[in-house]
Amino acid sequence: RVLSLFALMSLALTGCSGVDGFSVLKPKGTSGEMSLDMIKLALFIMLGVFAVVISIYIYVLIRYRKRKGKDVMPEQVHGNNVLEIVWTAIPIILLTILAIPTVKYTFNMSEIKASEDSLTVKVTGYQYWWEFQYPDLGIKTAQELHIPVGKKVNLIIEGKDVLHSFWVPALSGKVDVVPGRTNTLPLDAKEPGVYQGKCAELCGAGHALMDFKVIAQEESDFNKWVAQMQQPSTVQTAQQKQGEALFNQNCLGCHAGTNKNIKGPDLTKFGTRSTIAGILPHDEENLKKWLKDPTAVKPGAQMPKIDYLEPQEMEALVEYLMSRK
Ligand code: CUA
């Protein structure tokens, strides 16, 4: 039973280590490496404390056990100044050992943030999706944050509705997303790859599925992506034209931000994404499934059902969305 408990604990610590690019214990960025160093130091100190306390406990159990024929009450002690000073001083020393690197890393983090050539991305958390804006590049996207490998990225994080928490376990620690407040998170990725991100603050029915991805690319690939994002998509076929008209009628209000009450993700380059709503594989079947009943896929999603279109109209809408590359 103890073994299975440890297995469960290690699973919790790795955050489901089976998923690639989703482990605190395999950091792929400067900030994540700092966190892991701190985890190791804290674990090392805790194991030391555990060993000492358990040793004293076992010693006392054996040394002062009830023996046969000895029925007198042992001497009762009330207060011991030396002992009390010792067990106050030891935690102070241990906490100081923990505090020094914590403060050091905190200042190192702000150095990452301050570096000259860093890329700024504005992150906004909504129920239940993420918006990523690149103010210097004129790009806006959702659910997938593209970053160049090796470059410092300065995230400016805001919330629009309730509390969320931005977390990419392999790259960095969590940052609270608080409406009305701006938080920042400097991070970088040392290797190209897709790193899984999660909302780490209970924010409603769709919280568990408020996923996103960080796609770290070599600088040249990142620049290609930027160029593609900056290039307007064209509508080619008659079917795509019909889809565009349907999109403008049914979706544009929320997805272009003209509806003040409800805001949906920007879909300008929807065809380039790798997931639908941040969770489903990006294909036409899943897109139809999502459009027809969003809350069946992601509970609490604010998007209304688009279940009133003729099958042929649905085909056109899907075709149009997928063509936006
Ligand atoms: Cu957003 Cu949990």
State which ligand 1 atom lies nearest to the alpha carbon of 199: 2
Residue 4: its pLDDT value, please? 76
State which ligand 1 atom lies nearest to the alpha carbon of 208: 2
Which residue spans within the chain are E strands per DSSP? 119-126, 129-134, 139-142, 144-148, 153-159, 164-167, 175-177, 183-187, 193-199, 212-217, 275-276, 280-281
Q: How far, in Å, is the centroid of ligand 1 from the Cα of 209?
A: 8
Residue 283: its pLDDT value, please? 93
Residue 74 C-beta-side C-alpha neighbours within 13 Å: 7
Q: How far, in Å, is the centroid of ligand 1 from the Cα of 164?
A: 4
- Cβ of 306 closer than 6 Å to ligand 1, yes or no, is no
The C-alpha atoms of residue 317 and residue 288 are separated, in whole angstroms, by: 9
Residue 253: its pLDDT value, please? 85
Q: How far, in Å, is the centroid of ligand 1 from the Cα of 127?
A: 7
Asked if 287 and 322 count as a contact pair (C-beta separation under 8 A), the reply is yes
Residue 324 C-beta-side C-alpha neighbours within 13 Å: 18
Residue 12: its pLDDT value, please? 62
Q: How far, in Å, is the centroid of ligand 1 from the Cα of 236?
A: 38
Stretches where the chain sits below pLDDT 70 are 1-3, 10-20, 111-115, 257-260
Residue 17: its pLDDT value, please? 47
Asked if 165 and 153 count as a contact pair (C-beta separation under 8 A), the reply is no
State which ligand 1 atom lies nearest to the alpha carbon of 200: 2
State which ligand 1 atom lies nearest to the alpha carbon of 177: 1
The residues, any chain, with a CB within 8 Å of residue 128's CB and separated by 6 or more, are 199, 203, 204, 206, 207, 209, 210, 298, 300, 301
Count of Cβ atoms closer than 10 Å to residue 32 Cβ: 25
Residue 237: its pLDDT value, please? 92
Summarised one tens digit per residue, pLDDT across range 203-259 is: 999 999 999 999 999 999 999 999 999 988 888 899 999 999 999 988 988 887 666
Residue 107: its pLDDT value, please? 82
- Cβ of 164 closer than 6 Å to ligand 1, yes or no, is yes
Residue nearest to atom 1 of ligand 1 (CA): 164
Residue 72: its pLDDT value, please? 82
Stated length of the chain: 325
